[in-house]
Amino acid sequence: MSLSGEISGGVHRLDIRVYYEDTDHSGWVYHANYLKFCERGRSETLKLVGIEHKALERQDLFFIVRHMMCDFKAPAQIDDIVTVETRFKQASGARFVLDQQVMLDDKAVFQADVTLAMVNCEGRPQRIPREILDAMPQT
């Protein structure tokens, strides 16, 4: 698997190793770090379909997270390899909805419904460019 993961059957998959920095005192992954893992999955999905944050930014376009519904289902530990699965659900106007799961040995340890918004540098909603919508992996 490349650094950018891979797309297959409408799903982007990215393998991530759990390091010391990801764990906390409980011995498990610190809860907020699953959101980082999901963001890596989204960045690599965009990268694989040809969209770079830096390029978006030159057009004064940024994706921001608007809403997340998060289920912390089971723990992951240091040395584990987890897989972030990213599924594109729908888009309309400035909004973009994804389903993301962090899998460990075929079991979801984290699941999130994620709503992104596209904004400009002043935070105003911007219509998501057609080429981004067309490029997203479809199930």
- Positions annotated as catalytic residues are 24
Nearer to a copy of itself, 69 or 139 (CB): 69
Smallest separation, CB 11 to a copy of itself (Å) = 19
Nearer to a copy of itself, 87 or 111 (CB): 111
Cβ atoms < 10 Å from Cβ of 19 = 11
Residues 6+ apart with CB under 8 A from 105: none
First to last CA, the chain: 21
The pairing of strands 95-104 and 11-17 is unpaired
Nearer to a copy of itself, 106 or 138 (CB): 106
Smallest separation, CB 42 to a copy of itself (Å) = 9
Q: Please, which residues bridge with residue 21 across strands?
A: none
Cβ atoms < 10 Å from Cβ of 42 = 21
Smallest separation, CB 84 to a copy of itself (Å) = 12
d(CA 137, CA 12): 8
Residues in contact with a copy of itself by the rule CB under 8 A: 1, 3-4, 15, 17, 19-21, 23-28, 30-33, 35-36, 39-40, 43-44, 47, 52-54, 62, 64-72, 74-75, 77-79, 81, 123
